[in-house]
Structure 1
Amino acid sequence: MKRTIYDADHEAFRATIRDFIASEVVPDFPQWEKDRQAPREFFRKLGELGVLGFGIPEEYGGAGEASFKYMAVIIEETNRAGVTFGHFNVNTGVVLPYLLRLANEEQRQRWLPGLASGDLLLAIAMTEPGTGSDLAGIRTSARRDGDHYVLNGTKTFITGGVNSELVVVVCRTSPPEPGDRRAGLSLLVVEQGTPGFDVGRKLDKIGQKSLEAVELSFADVRVPVANLLGEEGKAFGYLSANLPRERLTIGVGATAAAQTAIDITTAYVKDRQLFGKHLADFQNTKFELAACAAEVEAAWAMVDRGIELDDSGELGAADAAKIKLFCTETAGRVIDRCLQLFGGYGYILEYQIARLYTDIRVQRIFGGTSEVMKTIIAKSLGL
């Protein structure tokens, strides 16, 4: 089915991104995977390209208001090429919206120009060794001491933790209220190099090798009160408001990955010969890819509707949960079935299908597990 959400401007942008990927990413990407992160200077190239400033007002050096469709184009094109822009999706798609919504004027002047240029990068530190989806169980704490907070705790699985100059830390600034475990959480922006702030080891993941995931620790880190983002104790509400966009982003990526799997598998089976004929000539091959194509078509329909709802400000928690659940589960099934058609070659990492297989698994976990998505959807049904 023809997709109708993109116009000529979006397609011109797509062509620019495709050329950029071919020249600036593809040649060096194998080294990024070995290093388990994109080089820091790459993000300044993204700044020069103008894609780090989506939503940042022009007076701060950004691109101004921009539809999520431009982010979606980047996600689609990086998946098509089998690469990433490092932790760009986290920096620009997940964390930047917090600053755009919550930063006061002094903070905007201090941070936004650097974020638009690529001189500053963002990460967010939510997950802790003992708390995953249960954000209300966060133990990292910050107590007020004059014009500073004193921050203590540990975070894990932090994407972009090495390259980012600013880390938005979710911490507890006051005890939970009776009957409300979510109260008392705040957002503090911690600057790289602050005494007591330590970036620990890179975690060795089974997939998404070019995205570093690190442990962070905070030992009596003094964070200026001026780095409080939004109001003290209101973080859970802020996180809930931003999660639909994050889950839409994951849904776009999962669907694009599944589409890529179909595309490369279709090309492979047309070329691969078995028992004297092409693999594409077997009925099982036709049926498998036909079924995969139908499922991914449905996922694109959900994604496109979600993008339209995001543009109009109507994307709700349950809508985003449905998109993430359906698209990530679909991508897992589709990529597995496509890998099967490669036979033994599908298990070899030099083949893109193998990397898609290992990369896709985490998308049913981060941003809220599939089980959490089902819980959100069930609540929307009154269950």
Structure 2
Amino acid sequence: MLDYRLDEEYEALRKTVREFARAEVAPVIGDFYEREEFPYELVRKMGAMGLFGLPFPEEYGGMGGDYFALCLALEELARVDSSVAITLEAGVSLGSMPIYRFGTAEQKRRWLPELCRGEALGAFGLTEPGGGSDAGALRTTARLDGDDWVLRGSKAFITNSGTDITALVTVAAVTGTTADGGKEISAIIVPSGTPGFTVAGRYSKVGWNASDTHELSFVDCRVPAENLLGARGRGYAQFLQTLDEGRVAIAAIGVGLAQGCVDECLRYVAEREAFGRKIGMYQAIQFKIADMEARAHTARLAYYHAAARMLRGESFKKEAAIAKLTSSEAAMANAREATQIFGGYGFMNEFPVGRFYRDAKILEIGEGTSEVQRMLIARELGLPRSA
């Protein structure tokens, strides 16, 4: 028998994060957003709540939960603000999770406790300035020189990479040539402050303005050989798994944004009057909000399904792509409709829907564009690779 009701622990977590988002995030995040300032105090509070340690075992300072618990937290945060949500998502699924999944006992002991407490952030250096969706076209290199890896190259659009509490970036780099002449790709942990590792200035972004995003460069950057994460040459497989899991988390953020648009519209139409009536009485407005709710609900079921398959140890690549595609398009459509319902006020940054509209588009790009998701779905259906 299918049952999509949350059990008591999940429901308690969802309510706790929702209350935090409404009481702590909502009143202040607009100012952070306008100043393009990273919200350190909110991150500290999320760390104290255990949100950065949700899916990790207690032995590493985690909460002993699972990935679905993280997704629930992300959805509730994104109902209020996506900058805070993506900071948590990237900190966990891209910063900490690769170390937990592939790290040695010593690497886990060294890095995870501080990351789980939210006292430090990790980042994942995959995308490059000329690479975009072609993740296999890496140009950053790492060569062994005695007991050190020496890195050269650059990365682009890396979240959580330049904060005052960023502790490390896991860098995907070409470390040699495979037997068939292809690129041998490995993952290497580069601690912040390592000589030769430079963090460029903050990007001027359309959205996610209270999150941290930078371009990184590596010029003869030397780290110990033991900073290799997982087996040499397994970097490509590692980041594919990381991205599959991350797409479920990004889907949860998309659902949160889509639902947040519904929340804001319901409040607004109960107060705003036009032509002598509350605008919530007009069927045209009611139909828009009904469609918005239907999109959020459908996308939520998609990411619940993908997360359930993940937790059962079943293949979930197709389901993750469906969830990410569905939720990002729902977020974009709902943000557009919410802005329309708010009219001129929807175009003002002081109203959350204006921020939602600016934040929604990146969900159709980051962690694999909508086109990449369709390509993955087609491949999982057995269709031939297109030219």
Query: C-alpha distance in 2, partners of 1:119/1:260?
Result: 28
Query: C-alpha distance in 2, partners of 1:282/1:23?
Result: 31
Question: Aligned with 2:342: secondary structure?
Answer: helix
The question of whether the paired residues in 2 share the 8 Å contact of 1:5 and 1:304 is answered with: no
The alpha-carbon deviation at position 280 of structure 1 amounts to 1.7
> 1:58 — aligned with what?
58
The question of whether the paired residues in 2 share the 8 Å contact of 1:321 and 1:374 is answered with: yes
C-alpha distance 116-286 of structure 1, shift in aligned 2 (>3 A): closer
The alpha-carbon deviation at position 58 of structure 1 amounts to 2.3
> 1:200 — aligned with what?
200
> 1:174 — aligned with what?
176
> 2:338 — aligned with what?
338
Query: C-alpha distance in 2, partners of 1:380/1:22?
Result: 39
> 1:71 — aligned with what?
70
Matches within 5 A, 1:335-374: 335-374=335-374
Counterpart of 1:7, as a letter, is D
C-alpha distance 148-10 of structure 1, shift in aligned 2 (>3 A): same
The alpha-carbon deviation at position 177 of structure 1 amounts to 5.4
Question: Aligned with 2:333: secondary structure?
Answer: helix
- 5+ unaligned residues in a row in structure 1: which ranges? none
> 1:118 — aligned with what?
118
Counterpart of 1:305, as a letter, is H
The alpha-carbon deviation at position 315 of structure 1 amounts to 4.6
Question: Aligned with 1:358: secondary structure?
Answer: helix
What TM-score does the superposition give when structure 1 sets the normalisation length? 0.92
The alpha-carbon deviation at position 85 of structure 1 amounts to 5.0
The question of whether the paired residues in 2 share the 8 Å contact of 1:141 and 1:172 is answered with: yes
Query: C-alpha distance in 2, partners of 1:325/1:208?
Result: 19
The question of whether the paired residues in 2 share the 8 Å contact of 1:38 and 1:86 is answered with: no
Counterpart of 1:170, as a letter, is A
Map Cα deviations across residues 165-192 of structure 1 (whole Å, 9 max, x no partner): 1100111111365474xx4111110011
The question of whether the paired residues in 1 share the 8 Å contact of 2:126 and 2:135 is answered with: yes
Matches within 5 A, 1:1-383: 4-22=4-22, 24-40=24-40, 42-64=42-64, 66-82=65-81, 84=84, 87-163=87-163, 164-175=166-177, 178=180, 180=182, 183-383=183-383
What TM-score does the superposition give when structure 2 sets the normalisation length? 0.92
C-alpha distance 174-47 of structure 1, shift in aligned 2 (>3 A): same
Map Cα deviations across residues 115-148 of structure 1 (whole Å, 9 max, x no partner): 2233331001111111011111110111110110
Question: Aligned with 1:173: secondary structure?
Answer: strand
Question: Aligned with 1:128: secondary structure?
Answer: coil
Query: C-alpha distance in 2, partners of 1:99/1:111?
Result: 8
The alpha-carbon deviation at position 34 of structure 1 amounts to 4.2
C-alpha distance 203-107 of structure 1, shift in aligned 2 (>3 A): same
Query: C-alpha distance in 2, partners of 1:349/1:292?
Result: 21
The question of whether the paired residues in 2 share the 8 Å contact of 1:243 and 1:317 is answered with: no
Question: Aligned with 1:122: secondary structure?
Answer: strand
The alpha-carbon deviation at position 317 of structure 1 amounts to 1.3
Query: C-alpha distance in 1, partners of 2:342/2:42?
Result: 34
Counterpart of 1:302, as a letter, is A
Map Cα deviations across residues 236-277 of structure 1 (whole Å, 9 max, x no partner): 111112222111111111111111111211221222111122
Counterpart of 1:82, as a letter, is D
Map Cα deviations across residues 336-380 of structure 1 (whole Å, 9 max, x no partner): 122111111111111111111110000000000001111111111
- 5+ unaligned residues in a row in structure 2: which ranges? none
C-alpha distance 40-267 of structure 1, shift in aligned 2 (>3 A): closer
Which stretch shifts more, 280-289 or 97-106?
280-289
Identity of aligned residues (%): 35
The alpha-carbon deviation at position 87 of structure 1 amounts to 1.4
Counterpart of 1:168, as a letter, is T
Question: Aligned with 2:289: secondary structure?
Answer: helix
C-alpha distance 278-39 of structure 1, shift in aligned 2 (>3 A): closer
Counterpart of 1:68, as a letter, is Y
The question of whether the paired residues in 2 share the 8 Å contact of 1:167 and 1:192 is answered with: yes
Query: C-alpha distance in 2, partners of 1:60/1:276?
Result: 60
Query: C-alpha distance in 2, partners of 1:42/1:333?
Result: 29
The question of whether the paired residues in 1 share the 8 Å contact of 2:270 and 2:279 is answered with: yes
